[in-house]
């Protein structure tokens, strides 16, 4: 993918910024609308990027940046943080997405509680159909990215 010089810094934030995921969703929504890519076609991209923003903010030091780059075939939405380590993506079997517990005194009752942690990158993978990843530019940062087609979609529809 050859990069065009066109790139736009959409948002910067730090650990102290209030509600960066909401700000990132709004910034990406505005940027895609300015390219005539409306939210109905890009909602998966917006949700995937909010997961990347939340992941970076929680697990890596800032400051952080959200940037949109144009390539000949796609838009790359990138989230940059200041930790060059690539996270491992957990592999959960479907039954591990809930935890089962037996309440005291009622062993015949089993309650399912959704797991709250560790699914963000799996959600990104599902929303993008695998059209995402990481790169380490060598300057002490890491960039998580998703590819968005020029029609606004992500995932298998990219081709």
CATH number at residue 154: 3.30.565.10
Amino acid 109: pLDDT:
43
- Name the residue among 24, 127, 17 with its Cα closest to residue 66: 24
Ramachandran angles phi, psi of 112, nearest 5°: -100, 130
Amino acid 150: pLDDT:
73
Helix (H, G, I), strand (E, B) or coil at 52: helix
Helix (H, G, I), strand (E, B) or coil at 136: coil
Amino acid 136: pLDDT:
96
Which range marks the domain in which residue 55 is found? Answer: 3-88+121-158
In this predicted structure, the answer to whether residue 111 has a pLDDT above a threshold of 80 is: no
Give the C-alpha separation, 41 to 159, whole Å.
15
Q: How far is CA 154 from the centre of its chain?
A: 12
Helix (H, G, I), strand (E, B) or coil at 70: strand
pLDDT tens sequence across 41-96: 689 999 999 999 999 999 999 999 999 998 888 899 999 999 999 998 776 655 55
Quick check: is 103 in a domain?
no
- Is residue 121 within 8 Å of residue 51, measured between CB atoms? yes
Q: Total domain count for the chain?
A: 1
Between residues 103 and 10, the one the model is more confident about:
10
Instruction: Round the average pLDDT of the chain to a whole number and report it.
Output: 81
pLDDT tens sequence across 16-49: 999 999 999 999 999 998 888 866 668 999 999 9
pLDDT tens sequence across 127-148: 998 999 999 999 999 999 999 8
Quick check: is 141 in a domain?
yes
Please state the rounded mean pLDDT for residues 1-14.
76
Quick check: is 8 in a domain?
yes
């Amino acid at each position: 993918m050859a990069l065009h010089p066109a790139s736009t810094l959409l948002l910067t934030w730090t650990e102290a910024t209030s509600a960066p995921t909401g700000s990132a969703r709004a910034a990406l929504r505005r940027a895609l609308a300015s390219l005539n890519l409306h939210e109905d076609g890009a909602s998966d991209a917006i949700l995937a990027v909010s997961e990347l923003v939340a992941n970076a903010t929680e697990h890596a030091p800032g400051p952080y940046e959200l940037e949109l780059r144009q390539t000949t075939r796609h838009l790359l939405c990138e989230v940059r943080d200041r930790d060059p380590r690539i996270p491992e993506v957990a592999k959960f079997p479907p039954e591990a997405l809930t935890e089962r517990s037996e309440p005291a005194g009622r062993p015949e009752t089993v309650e399912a509680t959704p797991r709250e942690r560790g699914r963000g990158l799996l959600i990104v993978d599902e929303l993008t159909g695998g059209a995402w990843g990481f790169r380490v530019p060598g300057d002490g940062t890491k960039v998580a990215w998703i590819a968005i087609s020029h029609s606004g979609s992500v995932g298998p529809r990219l081709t």
